[in-house]
Structure 1
Amino acid sequence: MSRIQMERSGEMEVFARVVQEGGFSAAARTLDLTPSAVSKLIARLEDRLGARLLLRTTRALTLTEEGEAYHHAALRILRDIDDADQQIGGGTVRGRLRVSASIPFGRMYVAPAIPAFLERHPGLRVDFSLTDDVIDLLAQRTDIAIRMGTLPDSNLIARKLGESRRIVCAAPAYLERCGVPRTPRDLESHECLSFTFRRDRPSWPFRVDGRDVQQPVSGRLLVNNGDTLRQMAIEGVGIARTGQFHVVEHIAAGRLVPLLEDYNPGDLEPIHAVYTAGGPVPHRVRAFIDHLTETFAQGPLAAAARPL
Structure 2
Amino acid sequence: MPRIDVNRSGEMEAFVQVVERDGFSAAARQLGMTPSAVSKLVGRLEARLATQLVHRSTRKLQLTPEGKHFYERSVQVLADMDEAERCAAAGAAPRGRVSINASVPFGELVLLPLVPRFLEQHPQVTLDVTLTDRVVDLMDERTDVAVRWGQLPASDLVARRLGDTGQAIVASPAYLARCGTPRTPQELEAHNRLGSNYRRNLPDWPLQVDGRAVLVPVAGNARAGDGATLRRLALDGVGLARLSLYHVQPDIDAGRLVPVLEEFNPHEREPMHAVYLGKPGRLPARVRALLDFLVANVMLA
Name the TM tier (shorter chain). Answer: 0.7 to 0.9
Counterpart residue number, 2:74? 74
Secondary structure, counterpart of 1:241 in structure 2: strand
2:221 & 2:172 partners in 1: Cα distance? 17
Counterparts of residues 222-261 of structure 1 (less than 5 Å): 222-261=223-262
Tell me which of 12, 17, 21 is aligned to 1:18.
21
The correspondence of residues 63-142 of structure 1 with structure 2, limited to 5 A, is 63-90=63-90, 92-96=92-96, 97-142=98-143
Cα 1:235–1:82 change in 2 (3 A) is farther
* AA matched with 1:93: A
Superposed displacement of residue 270, structure 1: 0.6
| CA pair 281-4 structure 1, distance change in 2 beyond 3 A | closer
Following TM superposition, by how much is the alpha carbon of 1:188 offset from its aligned partner in structure 2, in angstroms? 0.8
Give, in whole Å, the separation in 2 of the partners of 1:145 and 1:200.
Answer: 18
Question: What is the one-letter code of the residue matched to 1:8?
Answer: E
Q: Once the two structures are aligned, what percentage of the paired residues are identical?
A: 40
Q: How far apart in 1 are the matches of 2:166 and 2:255?
A: 19
Q: How does 1:113-192 map to 2 (within 5 A)?
A: 113-192=114-193
Q: Which amino acid aligns with 1:259?
A: V
Distance 2:82 2:141 in 1: 14
Structure 1 stretches of 5 or more lacking a match? none
Deviates more, 1:133-142 or 1:156-165: 133-142
Query: Which has the higher mean CA deviation after the structures are superposed, 136-145 or 109-118?
Result: 136-145
CA contact (8 A) 1:94 1:125 kept: no
For 1:14, give the aligned amino acid: Q
Q: 5 Å matches for 1:261-300? A: 261-278=262-279, 280-282=281-283, 283-297=285-299
| Compared CA separation, residues 112 and 13, structure 1 to 2 (3 A) | farther
Aligned to 1:219: 220
- Would the aligned equivalents of 1:11 and 1:41 in 2 still touch at CA under 8 Å? no
8 Å contact 2:20–2:142 — kept in the other structure? no
Whole-Å separation in 1 of the counterparts to 2:37 and 2:234 = 49
Q: C-alpha deviations, 1:277-307, integer Å up to 9, x for none? A: 436243434433332233224xxx2xx1xxx
Indicate if the aligned counterparts of 1:55 and 1:64 stay in contact, CA closer than 8 A: no
Secondary structure of the structure 2 residue equivalent to 1:280: helix
RMSD value, Cα: 3.3
**Long gaps (5+) in structure 2:** none
TM-score of the superposition, structure 1-length normalised? 0.79
Quick one: which amino acid aligns to residue 276 of structure 2? Y
C-alpha distance in structure 1 between counterparts of 2:201 and 2:146, whole Å: 27
TM value normalised by structure 2:
0.80
- Alpha-carbon shift at residue 240 of structure 1 (Å): 0.6
Deviation digits for residues 123-162 of structure 1, max 9, x if unmatched? 3332332232333334544332211111112233322111
Q: Secondary structure at the match of 1:205?
A: strand
Q: 1:148-204 CA distances to partner (integer Å, 9 max, x unpaired)? A: 111112233322111111010112232233222111111111111112246998221
**CA-to-aligned-CA distance 1:10-35 (integer Å, 9 cap, x gap):** 4134213224xxx789xx4xx8949x
SS of the aligned residue for 1:182 comes to coil
Question: Contact (CA 8 Å) 1:195, 1:224: kept in 2 or not?
Answer: yes
Distance 1:33 1:103 in 2: 32
Decide whether the 8 Å contact of 2:195 with 2:222 is kept in 1: yes
Measured after TM superposition, the shift of residue 241 of structure 1 is 0.5
Describe the shift of the 1:262–1:71 C-alpha distance in structure 2 as closer, same or farther (beyond 3 A): same
The change in CA–CA distance for 1:141 and 1:32 in structure 2 (over 3 A counts) is same
How many residue pairs get aligned? The number is 290
